[in-house]
Amino acid sequence: MYNVLKMINSKEYSPWFRCLPILIVFLINIFLLAENFPVSDGIRYWDTASDILDGFQKKSILESYLLLNGPFYPLILAFLKGIGFSVKASIYLNAFFLYVGFTFFYKTLYQYISFKKSLLATYILVFIDPFLFYWTAKLYSEPLTILLVCVLIFYLNSFFKSNSKKYLLLSAFIFCLMALTRVIFAYVALSIVILGLAGWFIFKSSLFNKLLKFSSLSLLFCIPYLIFTYSVTKKVFYFSGNGGLLLYWTSSPYPSDMGEWHTLPINHDHFAARYSKFSGLDSLYLRKVNDVIINQINSNHKDFADSLKDKDILEYDQALKDKAILNIKSYPISFIKNWILNTGRLLVGIPHAIYNKPPFSPHFNLINTIKSSFLLFLLIVSLFLSLRNNWIERQLLTSTILILIIYLGGQSLLAVQSQRFLLPVYPLIIFIISLSLHNNLILKSNKK
């Protein structure tokens, strides 16, 4: 074991070897925790893969889950399912996603900070959120998204250094795949187009010119999918039919909801049955407590939920958006309060409307809140240090900060269920903190 650690800590070996323990750890994790059936969001992805293989013969596109997900992950699953992979065999791919992604993260960071510091930052990224191991053992898209984010940082770095068309195309294509995996990144790209255009006019900086090219090209790569969704929905720039439900819960005027995402209506037994083994609390107790809360939430939304029963996905999404806009206009203070609570859930893991939501146990909840608060403090300090001077010249750091801020801002406006939504951007957070603190500590020590 000592010799293996010594080899990992040696500069003589390839980054792929130094990060090999990451692959081993996640493969063991999946072997121990994964089941051969999909759960929750995984059911949607697996069913969508089946519909793709079937050519939507049994279900029409509007009856399937395709427009509720980004299409990229279901397409990968359709290929795996088509060649005979089971659910658990498909889950093993998550370990390779994370291994490749974290190795690219290390390779990028190593170009700016020392070998040992970049390796340490990479392994901190692996273990920064223990629930990455939980979600990696499920049929979820987070590992794929993390891979794409890490590869994006690598190719953006190459593009900013070389101004090469090759790396511009590669980084834009990766960003397109991110948008087709997690739809919020499509709106991040659109926001960067607007900011890049405005920044170019104001600052006349090559940074904003490059950002404008990169984000515009990434949206151009999405056009074939947008043509497809237009042919189905007759709606322009239609990426997903899930936005209405997310915005609806953020706009809810009922204090018991806390702006948190729920199904409509909420399954009474779902959370208690799924999470009781992690909580250290009696499952019957959890059911009794949650039943009181869930009954209250369901009763507040029952009439509106009943009015949605016979609607297709387009009508359902539009009705939710219309109701959300009406709620925002009628109860703007409630919307602001819910936005603040969503921000808290996203960044520090609290509060939750239903008792004993992830991270499952009261003790772990306390530890997670302290850890998340410390990470948030480091991020805020890093942002301040990075943006106080020469921020236009530090193109990669400024770009990652911009992507992160837009993502967090957009995600916090939508109903956040847990810190699972933070997992895809942990590479951005750790990269920004590592690079910013390193740059400022080095500058400070040089001045002395």
Query: What SS3 string covers the chain?
Result: CHHHHHHHCCCCCCHHHHCHHHHHHHHHHHHHHCCCCCCCHHHHHHHHHHHHHHCCCCCCCCCCCHHHCCCHHHHHHHHHHHCCCCHHHHHCHHHHHHHHHHHHHHHHHCCCCCHHHHHHHHHHHHHCCCHHHHHHCCCCCHHHHHHHHHHHHHHHHHHHHHCCHHHHHHHHHHHHHHHHHCCHHHHHHHHHHHHHHHHHHHHCCHHHHHHHHHHHHHHHHCHHHHHHHHHHHCCCCCCCCCHHHHHHHHCCCCHHHCCCCCCCCCCCCHHHHHHHHHHCCCHHHHHHHHHHHHHHHHHHHHHHHHCCCCCCHHHHHHHHHHHHHHHHHHCHHHHHHHHHHHHHHHHHCCCCCCCCCCCCCHHHHHHHHHHHHHHHHHHHHHHHHHHCCCCCCCHHHHHHHHHHHHHHHHHHHCCCCCHHHHHHHHHHHHHHHHHHHHHHHHHHHHHC
**For the packed helices 72-82 and 142-162, what is the interaxial angle rounded to 10 degrees?**
120
Give the model's pLDDT for residue 264.
Answer: 81
Q: Which two tokens stand for residue 13?
A: 């070996």
- Average pLDDT over all residues of the chain: 89
Contact indicator for 16, 101 with CB cutoff of 8 Å: no
The helix, strand and coil proportions of the chain, stated in percent and rounded to the nearest 5, come to 75, 0, 25
Contact indicator for 248, 328 with CB cutoff of 8 Å: no
CA torsion sign for 374, 378, 384, 385 is positive
* pLDDT tens-digit series, residues 197-210: 999 998 888 899 99
CA distances from 408 to 232, 339, 404, 422 (A): 30, 12, 6, 8
Give the model's pLDDT for residue 447.
Answer: 40
Q: Write the DSSP string, 63-122.
A: TSSGGGS-SHHHHHHHHHHHTT--HHHHHTHHHHHHHHHHHHHHHHHTTTS-HHHHHHHH
Residue 218 in this model has a pLDDT that exceeds 70 = yes
| % of the chain at pLDDT higher than 70 | 89
| Most confident among 362-371, 413-422, 430-439 (mean pLDDT) | 430-439
Distance CA 329, CA 386 (A): 37
* pLDDT tens-digit series, residues 331-376: 999 999 999 999 999 999 888 877 656 545 677 788 889 999 999 9
Confidence of residue 23 (pLDDT cuts 50, 70, 90): very high
Give the model's pLDDT for residue 390.
Answer: 75
Q: How far apart are the first and last CA of the chain?
A: 41
| Residue range 380-384: mean pLDDT, rounded | 93
Residue 443 in this model has a pLDDT that exceeds 60 = no
Residue 430 in this model has a pLDDT that exceeds 80 = yes
| Residue range 101-119: mean pLDDT, rounded | 95
* pLDDT tens-digit series, residues 282-333: 667 777 777 788 888 888 999 999 999 888 889 999 999 999 999 999 999 9
Distance CA 324, CA 245 (A): 9
User: What is the value of pTM for the model shown?
Assistant: 0.93
Residue 261 in this model has a pLDDT that exceeds 90 = no
Give the model's pLDDT for residue 107.
Answer: 97
H/E segment holding residue 125: helix 115-127
The reply to whether omega before 253 is within 30° of 0 (cis) is: no
Give the model's pLDDT for residue 446.
Answer: 46
Residue 275 in this model has a pLDDT that exceeds 60 = no
Distance CA 230, CA 233 (A): 5
Confidence of residue 272 (pLDDT cuts 50, 70, 90): low
Nearest residue to 251 via CA among 114, 415, 396: 415
Contact indicator for 45, 139 with CB cutoff of 8 Å: yes
Residue type, 6: K
Which stretch of 83-97, 133-147, 323-337, 415-429 has the lowest confidence by average pLDDT? 415-429
**For the packed helices 206-221 and 184-203, what is the interaxial angle rounded to 10 degrees?**
150
| Residue range 273-279: mean pLDDT, rounded | 56
Residue 448 in this model has a pLDDT that exceeds 50 = no
Give the model's pLDDT for residue 388.
Answer: 80
Give the model's pLDDT for residue 2.
Answer: 46
